[in-house]
Amino acid sequence: MIVSILALLRVRSDDPTLAIAQQAALSKQIPLMYFILLVNTWGVAATHLHAAPPLLTITFPLLMTLVCGVRMFYWWNRNDRLKPDAAKAIAELRRTNRISWVLAALFALWGISLAPYGDSFMQSHVAFYMGITVIGCIFCLTHLLSAAMAVTLVVNITFIAYFGLTGNEIFIAMAIDVGLVSVAMLLVLWVQYRDFTHLITSRRELELKKNVLEEREVQLIIEQKQTQALSDENKRLANIDSLTNLSNRRFFFSKLNEAEIRLQKGGADFHIGLIDLDGFKPVNDLYGHKVGDDLLIELAARLAQVCRGRALVARLGGDEFAILMETSDSAVATELADDIGHACRQPFTISDTVVEIGASIGISSSELCVEASRGLYEQADYALYHAKRNARGCAVAFSHEHYVSLSRLTVIERAFRDASIDRDISLDFQPIYDLHCNEVVAFEALARWRHPDLGFISPAEFIPAAERLGYINHLSRVLLGKALKETTTWPDHIGLSFNLSARDIASNDQALRIMSIIAESGVRPDRIDLEITETALLSDLERAQAIAQGFISAGMGVSLDDFGTGFSSLTHLHSMPLTNIKIDRSFVTAIDKNPASAKIVKSLVRMAFDMNLKCIVEGVETSMELDVIRELGGCFVQGYHLSKPLSASDARQLASGNQAHASSAR
């Protein structure tokens, strides 16, 4: 039923002869419809000229006169044109159908907008206008049933809804009357349209009977060829990336699946490679997406030339590409990957701008994959991840060591998915001391995870895994909740230092969640210090600045962790809203034997003092290092010489002033 009704609201495209006949009939009727519409519109506007705003009585009628005049001239002019072909006729009918919805809605809303103004006679005029106008439009659109129904539905629903809800018995009666009359007229219109359709169909059948059998066969052959050509073209387009004209993601995975099937039947091994561009995002950000697209087009041409006769190359999306190599020789696959990397590193000239990028590549071989083709793709993706992380700009082949790591990652991912990590993960707390009073002033929370099967998993393993799998935000919230719960057991003067990941400050929503967790914990914000790294700032400095300022405005501290190790730490120190800096342990190790390190630390301590920032020195592991830090003016320190990370209970005892335990911890 619903499908049949929806069909009545659409223009038929299955009968070209009918479409041409409809257009010819409408060419004579639609200009008259616009004439009726404009005459009635200006009649209503004139009676409301002194009662309604000029926007409704002058501006809107003038605008609609212009629109209707253009359409009227267009349809008048069609009488002087040659008979259109079916495609143009169908397109014109569809356009008319769409315009009917829009104009009906505009005129109906205009009429309803005028209704509140003036006395009851003027309101009756509006009701008469809407009723008589829709009747006139229905008759003028007799040969386009979908447009006539559109006008009737839009105007009548608006009319009946408005006047039927006024509470005025006369208007309610008019609404019911107009509704019933419109239904009857639509039934009449449907009968006329059906008869018109049957008439056109009969004429077409008579004409078809006059054609000889040979002509029909020729036409059939032509149509078959056109259909085949269209099918071939659609198939080609479905497998081609529209920007680069390389194979697309769909085609690549279909070929990968075919290679897997051949391998299962005893075919040769093969390799796949995933290519991710290095430095493409800055090009997009600096020069715009047009230059970025041109760069991808030129790069695709290079890849096609390098891979010609050697591998299938496809664009998976964005700046990701893939290759499928029908070879079992790992040396051949590596050589091709190196050639691709070399081609990507060559400068590009785009719109008189020289652009340089690189490419990291992950390669996997079907020899090491005992699973389906999706497993082979995941292995290449894992190799690409290692290339991006450890050998940017180079090719990394998936190895047995990677297989072991990926198996561990699968177990880790399962723990993330089933949330068992929320139960198993815990926190250690490393004290931060004030050298002036020789007391603990804060604890840094450090994540510790002991998996039931894998045993102890280092943060250096599960934190990057959480970032790669998209679970880092959830993990940060879980750890922050645990840390705050423990903080409530410490004296009020002892603070908490908590590390945030890059993704924690890449989203306003995530920052708000963190602030909400802190607010609900009952811990005073001034006891909390949130640590961020320079790496976290590089992705979006402006957003990081705004989020850090929000934390500070809420009363929390913000520290720049591992200060001095980044290439632009001083720039970030100047531009970021901060309360603390943490000097990286690389400057502290053997500081008593390295005058250069001592000078650097002294300068950083002095600079922090001048900028009214608290300076914390990390990684103090010997008494000699501690003495040098004290001589250089350092105040806040942490490191194994003072205390290793403590369990929650040990940290609680140290915080409560258990000196015996504190001495033991040192």
Average pLDDT over residues 150-164: 75
pLDDT digits (tens, 9 = 90+) for 646-656: 999 999 999 98
Distance between CA atoms of residues 73 and 67, nearest Å:
10
Distance between CA atoms of residues 654 and 438, nearest Å:
13
Is the pLDDT confidence value at 13 over 80? no
> Parallel, antiparallel, or unpaired for β 495-499 and 528-533?
parallel
Tell me, what's the pLDDT at 572? 59
pLDDT digits (tens, 9 = 90+) for 628-638: 889 888 899 99
CATH superfamily of 249-398: Reverse transcriptase/Diguanylate cyclase domain (3.30.70.270)
Predicted TM-score of the model (pTM)? 0.53
Record the tokens describing residue 640, joined without a space.
């194994």
- 480 pLDDT band, cuts 50/70/90, is very high
- Tokens 């003028």 map to which residue? 140
Record the tokens describing residue 30, joined without a space.
């639609």
Tell me, what's the pLDDT at 180? 79
* Alpha helices in 565-647, H assignment, sequence order: 569-575, 595-610, 623-631
Please state, as a whole number, how many other Cβ atoms lie within 10 Å of the Cβ of residue 490: 21
| Domain parsing of the chain, residue ranges | 2-210, 249-398, 418-665
pLDDT digits (tens, 9 = 90+) for 370-381: 554 458 888 898
- Higher-confidence residue of 237 and 81: namely 237
Is the pLDDT confidence value at 147 over 50? yes
- 462 pLDDT band, cuts 50/70/90, is confident
pLDDT digits (tens, 9 = 90+) for 484-502: 999 999 999 999 999 998 8
Give the CA distances from residue 129 to residues 118, 133, 135, 159, in Å, rounded to whole numbers and listed in that order. Answer: 15, 6, 10, 11
Give the CA distances from residue 152 to residues 9, 60, 66, 174, 586, in Å, rounded to whole numbers and listed in that order. Answer: 11, 21, 23, 15, 79
CATH superfamily of 418-665: EAL domain (3.20.20.450)
Distance between CA atoms of residues 398 and 411, nearest Å:
19
- 442 pLDDT band, cuts 50/70/90, is very high
> Which three-class secondary structure state does DSSP give residue 38?
helix
Look over the chain and give the mean of its residue pLDDT values, rounded to a whole number. Answer: 82
pLDDT digits (tens, 9 = 90+) for 209-243: 665 555 666 667 666 777 666 666 676 668 898 89
H-run or E-run covering 336 = helix 330-345
Average pLDDT over residues 516-541: 85
pLDDT digits (tens, 9 = 90+) for 84-103: 677 777 887 788 878 888 88
pLDDT digits (tens, 9 = 90+) for 562-596: 776 654 456 656 677 888 888 888 888 888 888 88
Could you give the percent of the chain with pLDDT greater than 90? 27
- 515 pLDDT band, cuts 50/70/90, is very high
Tell me, what's the pLDDT at 208? 65
Is the pLDDT confidence value at 80 over 50? no
